[in-house]
Structure formats: C-alpha cells, structure tokens
Amino acid sequence: DTEGLLRIKEENQKHYRRAQRHQEKKEKIQRHNRRLGDLVEKKTYELKTQYEHLANLRRTHILELTSVIFPIEEVKTSMRDPADASSESDSAMTSSTVSKLAEARRTTYLSGRWVCDDHNGDTSISITGPWITLPNNGDYSAYYSWVEEKKTTQGPDMEHNNPAHTISAALCYATQLVNTLSLILDVNLPKKLCNRQFCGENLSRHRFTRAVKKLNANILHLCFSQHVNLDLLHPLHTLRNLMYLVSPDTENLGR
C-alpha cells in the first residue's frame, strides 16, 4: 500500500507539472489573442477610415460628374392649374368641381390605364441642359408613336422639332450616366444596357419599352444601394430618381 501510495503521489506530481505547463500555455494563448484583438480593432478602424475616405472621393467625383457633364435639374413648364383658371372664369364654380379638375390634372393615361402623378404638368427633368428633358410622368409613348408613324409617312416635317428625338437623347445620356455611376460606386447593375441602346436605329415599341424598364431597374438598384429615401422614388420617374440619387442631400452617396 505504501509503494502504491508513492506511485500515486509521483503521478499526481507529474499531472500537476503538466497542468502548470498547460496553464502557462493557456495564458500565452490569451495574451496572443488579446494582441490579435487589438490589432484587428486597429485594422478595423483603419479600414473604416479608408471606406469613409473612399466614399468622400466617390461623392466628389459623382458631384463633379453631374455638375459639369451630366447636370440634372427640374425645368418649370409654367403651366397653370386648370382648376385655378376655371375658377377665375366662373366665380360660381363649386369646390367639388375645382377638386375634380385638380384631381384630373394629377392623373395620366399611361399604357392603357389611368395612373396618379402628383407632378404631372408642373415640371420636367432635364439632363445635360434644359433643352433635353423627359416627361415627368414616365410616358414615353411619343417615341414609339413617332417610329410607327414614320414607317407609313416619310418627309422632312417628321424630323423637325420631334419630341421623340429629345426622349431618345435624354434616355441615352441617362444610360451613360448610370453605367458610369456603377463604375464609380463599384455596384454591379442587375440589367445589362449598353450606352448606345437608345441611339441609332429606331426601336420598336416592345424593344423600347423593354430597354426603358431595364434602365429604370438599374437606376432603382443604384438608389437602393445608396440608401435613397424610398418615399421619394417612383418606378417610372427615370430622371427624377437619378436626380435624387446624385443630389448633394443624399447622405449615403458613395457608400
């Protein structure tokens, strides 16, 4: 029994020495983890600083791009509200008639159905200059109506001051701007759309509508990536959504 007790004591001493070595190794690992934690925290702070610097650079480039090459702004059409004009001509007009006229002014017949548009008739959005604008309500039917009419009628009068040319030019510039913004912001666009999509040949109604939907989808994707206020966006307002995206008031532009 005495010999067995001695063997057990020796084994216990071995385990105790091994436990001490393990404790020292544990403390060494903990110190190493603390150093790594401090290093990671430092690198994370540096990375965050670099991200902020990169965001400021992107923001500066975008604001310069949209102020020098692709300025986007609202253009007042100076149209009077029919309700106001009618009420001036007829002092006995009831308030219900005035409200109905105002409501009719805010509605647009678009693609076979009536849609509500609060900005209809008030303003239009221009790109690269006040002479290149898009309808504010997203109704680009003037383009494919012109294309369909051109198939049956040929003449110089068809080419003079045609709104379809303005629509084509504005959409072309908008496509170029969106593709450039995706490169600056490093955001992959969901739809592939080349810069010359709306230039050159006259697109059929189906191809034109499909291309416009792709452009609107890309613009909304960029707006979502930059945390633009969703209450400001409308799926049909091409240039207005772009204007909100590149506005200096967009806090997260460049993120």
Nearest to residue 69, comparing CAs of 181, 188, 193, 191? 181
pLDDT at 118 exceeding the cut of 60:
no
> CA-CA distances (angstroms) from residue 94 to 33, 81, 85, 86, 100?
79, 16, 14, 11, 10
Q: Which of the pair, 90 or 252, is modelled with greater confidence?
A: 252
Tell me the three state secondary structure of residue 78: coil
Q: What is the mean pLDDT of residues 86-112?
A: 53
pLDDT, mean over the chain: 81
**Which percentage of the chain shows pLDDT scores above 90?**
46
Query: Can you list the alpha helix ranges (DSSP code H) found in the chain?
Result: 2-68, 82-89, 95-105, 141-152, 163-185, 205-225, 238-245
- pLDDT category at 74 given cuts 50, 70, 90 is confident
Residue 139: the pLDDT is 81
Residue 242: the pLDDT is 92
Joined together, the tokens standing for residue 156 give 């110089």
Side chain identity, residue 9: K
- pLDDT category at 120 given cuts 50, 70, 90 is very low
User: CB–CB of 222/182 below 8 Å?
Assistant: yes
Nearest to residue 169, comparing CAs of 211, 127, 209? 127
pLDDT digits (tens, 9 = 90+) for 10-47: 999 999 999 999 999 999 999 999 999 999 999 999 99
Residue 182: the pLDDT is 94
Nearest to residue 220, comparing CAs of 235, 208, 240, 239? 235
Nearest to residue 143, comparing CAs of 128, 159, 163? 163
pLDDT at 220 exceeding the cut of 90:
yes
The structure tokens 């590149």 sit at 246
> CA-CA distances (angstroms) from residue 254 to 17, 45, 56, 58?
59, 18, 7, 5
Q: DSSP label at 80?
A: P
> CA-CA distances (angstroms) from residue 186 to 3, 18, 255?
77, 55, 10
Side chain identity, residue 240: R
Would you kindly state where each structural domain of the chain is located, as residue ranges? 123-254
Q: What is the mean pLDDT of residues 121-148?
A: 80
pLDDT at 102 exceeding the cut of 70:
no
Q: What is the mean pLDDT of residues 50-69?
A: 92
The structure tokens 């300025």 sit at 71
Joined together, the tokens standing for residue 60 give 């500066």
